[in-house]
Amino acid sequence: MKLKHIGSLAVAIAMAIPIAANAQDDLVKMRAGMVSGIDQIALPIAQEKGFFEKHGLDVTIAEPFATGVDLLNALQSGVVETAQVGVPMIGAVVRGMDLVAFGNYSGSAAQLGSDTTLAVVAREGSGIDPKDLTTIKGKKIATSFGSINHLHILALIEAAGLDIKDVDLVSTPPPDMTVALLTKGIDAFDTWDPWPIIALKDVPGAYQVVRGGNFISYLGFNVAMRDWLENNGETAEKFLAALSEADQWMRANPEEAAQVATRWVPGLDPAVAQEAMKYNVQQTDRRLSANNYKALDDAVATLHRLKFVESDFDVNKHMDSTHIVKVMNQQPGLFSDLPKISDDALIGDGFVYIRKAD
């Protein structure tokens, strides 16, 4: 089993278990990218546990990127061939990037609502009441524009019966949110784990306003440039099978998975990783269904309606379920511990998502 990173993490190569040269030559080489987040950990798990090699791949994982935007820039420039990214995919497609989602790394194929890894944390004295979401009116709340946490806070604002203008949203990178809360530069923030858990631990008086809530469907896709996917279908299927095996291992071994996370998310405390992993395994589902098409379509429509992106697009042109459906059909055991996808959401060859009028 080889542990390889691009960049400063290359020291991990020294931990590699030697593989016979002729066996190594048979493996298909790939370069994959991820964001520094707890929900992305199946990728390094697949490498550390040897699942990539088992499925015939030699995958090099780039040192984790700070944001999905940074990761997509690396994908477009050819630094990586596949990426794990969610909402930033929307802005990239609108700007003309020919991206295709071919698998899911976080969310749910079995249901629409799935946002357990997101939380809103407020500072002491903010005046925000967890039992009354209307109290976010007039508050300064940090989120990351164009990311999944942005979508989550927009949904909360709508659920509270408020207008987006009623809340002062500040675009902030997740690692900076805890400091902003500590210095009272913001009243609250909405983001993904581990940052809410870190803030609750490190900011005196900080408290949780919302954890998940099924306000939105989480978006977390395996994506690639269209030309790469069209020319590497078999490789994509091996990649998805290995990641699906890593997902299943993670669901069965959350404590060990948390230990892996501490090696890939800089500065991640083991206790925080353990807590975050409890939420993460609730939405590790590599499958695609009609629910995932609708999740992306709803997100596109919302961001366009609120003028955060300039145009809408047909999700059918930027999702290809062919490869993951093939893995689902040929290796059903990889998903046997997951909830069944309902007949009306199950998809097959030739599936076309149709947006329903409001």
What is the DSSP secondary-structure string of 165-208?
GGSEEEE--HHHHHHHHHTTS-SEEEEETTHHHHHHHHSTT-EE
Contacts of residue 111, defined as CB under 8 A and 6 or more positions apart, other chains included, come to 291, 339
Q: What is the mean pLDDT of residues 197-216?
A: 95
Report which DSSP code applies to 38: G
Q: Report which of 265, 258, 299, 95 is spatially closest to residue 174, judged by C-alpha positions.
A: 265
> 22-41 b/e with 16+ CB inside 10 Å = b?
eeeeebeebbbbbbbbbbbb
Structure confidence at residue 24 as a pLDDT band (50, 70, 90):
low
- Residue-range domain boundaries for the chain: 5-109+218-335, 118-211
Written out in words, the top-level CATH class of the domain with range 118-211 is alpha beta
- Write down the pLDDT at residue 18: 46
Summarised one tens digit per residue, pLDDT across range 261-284 is 999 988 889 999 999 999 999 999
Q: Identify the architecture of domain 5-109+218-335 in CATH.
A: 3-Layer(aba) Sandwich (3.40)
- H-assigned helices in 49-138: 51-54, 68-77, 88-94
Distance from the Cα of residue 57 to its chain's centroid: 22
The amino acid present at 155, given as its one-letter code, is A
Using CA atoms, how far apart are residues 175 and 194, in angstroms rounded to an integer? 9
The pLDDT of residue 180 is above 80: yes
Q: Does the pLDDT at position 240 exceed 80?
A: yes
Q: Are 181 and 188 in contact (CB under 8 A)?
A: yes
Report residue 330 as tokens.
Answer: 């040929």
| Average pLDDT estimate for 203-217 | 94
Over range 314-325, report the average pLDDT: 96
CB atoms within 10 A of CB 235: 21
Q: pTM value?
A: 0.86
Interatomic CA distance for residues 143 and 149, integer angstroms: 6
- The owner of tokens 């008086």 is 205
Instruction: With a cut of 80, say whether residue 6 has pLDDT above it.
Output: no
